[in-house]
Each structure stands twice: as structure tokens, then as C-alpha cells.
Structure 1
Amino acid sequence: MEKYKLGDKVFDCPVGLASNAINGKWKLQILNLLSQEECMRYGNLKRRIEDVSEKMLIQHLRELEQDGLIERKLYPEVPPRVEYALTEVGRQIIPVIVALKQWGQLFRI
């Protein structure tokens, strides 16, 4: 049986890996926003994702970084500046996000 690895997690099923990678209320929204920009600062992400708490945004950003879908760049400035961007692996999810967006548009009111 083949094994699949994402970050430090190993899966028996590629669907399980993919589901785990985007599991979380805000992860797809984070990935969607980062797919539209070269990079984004934390404050921009926080403003653009309505209703996300600071705790959940930080948690999801850390998980996405640990899984290798996004990268975090810290600039040694005062005050510190942090930017997030999709990695090459993270960019591979863009067609999935586009398909989900198109599917979601079927439910317009």
C-alpha cells in the first residue's frame, strides 16, 4: 500500500491527506486569498477574512506552514513585519480552489 506524506504527517489515502490539509473553517479562505496575491501580511489576512478570531487565524497559518502549503517570511524590522505566501505545493491547490469557487457560485440567491 502506498503512503502519502504532507509535512510530518503520513496518510494511507491521498484523499485523507488532501482533506487533512484543508480541514479547518478558514484554511481554504486563507489559501484562496494567498492565491490572489504574491504575498500578504497578517493584518491584511485578518481584515479580509470576516469573523475569524486571532487565535484561529494564527493556528491555521501555523498548520498550513507546517504542512508546507504556505511560507512565512519574517523581516527583522521594528515593528516586525511578517508576510505569508503560497509555496510551490500550495500553488498546486489553486485549480481546486477555482473549481470550488465555480461550484459555490451555483448557489447564488
Structure 2
Amino acid sequence: MANAKSAQACGCPVAAFQKMISGKYKLRIVWDLQDGPKRYSEIRTGLLRGSSGSAVIAPRVLSRELKALTEQGLIDRKDFGVVPPKVEYRLTRKGKSFVPVIAAIRNWGARHLAEANADQMVAAE
């Protein structure tokens, strides 16, 4: 997080933004939480459902991503203090304001990936 602050301090919001969202699952976690609070296992299942390639997400990696998103103020972690443990994650106001940005990235990707696939098909003919 210190790197994101130093990038922001040097006047480069793009570098600060890039540092904030760096990580394999952060964008997908925020996107998945737009529909409401989820527990750890629900987030993990959602990530596995959308994954291409490895069907294994190391618990340590997912926990690290969730902790970073919490520290960045994009998500909130609510511990119910019961046994067995019950913890939910939800978007903060800042996290909700980030959803349209991810939607724009998703739309751009859908549009341009479709073009790239069409170009590859033409080249293969």
C-alpha cells in the first residue's frame, strides 16, 4: 500500500490505480460482490466458476486479496463473532463506485476480444 501512496504522491493516478488493482482476483472479487454480501466460500466458488485454466485457488492467495481490498477501502469484512466462524464481505461506498469502471473494462474486453477472435479465424482460413 505504501507503493500506491507514493505513486499517488508523485502525481500519477494511473500508477496508483494500477497498484491498487494489481492481483489476480481483485477485479473479479469486486465484480462478484456487486450483487450483495458474500461469505469466503461463496467468493471462492464464484472465482472458480469463472476461471479458465487452474481450478485451484490457494486459500492464502484469496485471503491476501480480500485483506488488500479491505485495507484499500473497497470492501468491508464483517465478523459475526460466532462459532463456527461466520464472516461476510461486502462492497463499501468506494467499492460500489468502482463497479462501473469494471463494467467499462468488461465491455471493452468483450468488444475487442470478439474482434481479436474474428481476426484469428480469418487468418486461419
Match of 1:21, SS state, is helix
Task: Name the one with the larger strand percent.
Answer: 1
Provide closer, same or farther for how the CA distance between residues 23 and 8 of structure 1 changes in structure 2, counting only shifts above 3 A: closer
- Find the structure with the greater CA-based Rg: 2
Match of residue 22 from structure 1:
21
Task: Give the length in aligned residue pairs.
Answer: 103
Contact 1:7 1:66 in 2 (8 A): no
Q: Aligned equivalents of 1:25 and 1:18: distance in 2?
A: 15
Contact 2:28 2:47 in 1 (8 A): yes
Please list every run of at least 4 consecutive aligned residues from structure 1 whose deviation after the TM superposition is greater than 4 angstroms.
Answer: 6-9
Q: Percent identity?
A: 34
Q: Does 1:84 align with 2:89?
A: yes
Q: Cα deviations across residues 35-64 of structure 1 (Å, max 9, x unaligned)?
A: 1x2211000001111232211100000001
What's the TM-score once normalised by structure 1's chain length? 0.85
Match of residue 122 from structure 2:
none
Q: Aligned equivalents of 1:20 and 1:73: distance in 2?
A: 25
Match of residue 45 from structure 2:
47
Question: What residue identity is the alignment partner of 1:19?
Answer: Q
* 1:49-88 correspondence to structure 2 within 5 Å: 49-50=47-48, 51-88=56-93
Match of residue 3 from structure 1:
none
Where do 5+ consecutive residues of structure 2 fail to align? 49-55, 118-125
What's the TM-score once normalised by structure 2's chain length? 0.75
Question: What residue identity is the alignment partner of 2:68?
Answer: E
Q: Aligned equivalents of 1:44 and 1:16: distance in 2?
A: 31
Contact 2:75 2:95 in 1 (8 A): yes
* Structure 1 vs Structure 2 CA RMSD: 1.9
Task: Name the one with the larger helix percent.
Answer: 2
Provide closer, same or farther for how the CA distance between residues 78 and 8 of structure 1 changes in structure 2, counting only shifts above 3 A: farther
**CA offset at residue 80 of structure 1?**
1.1
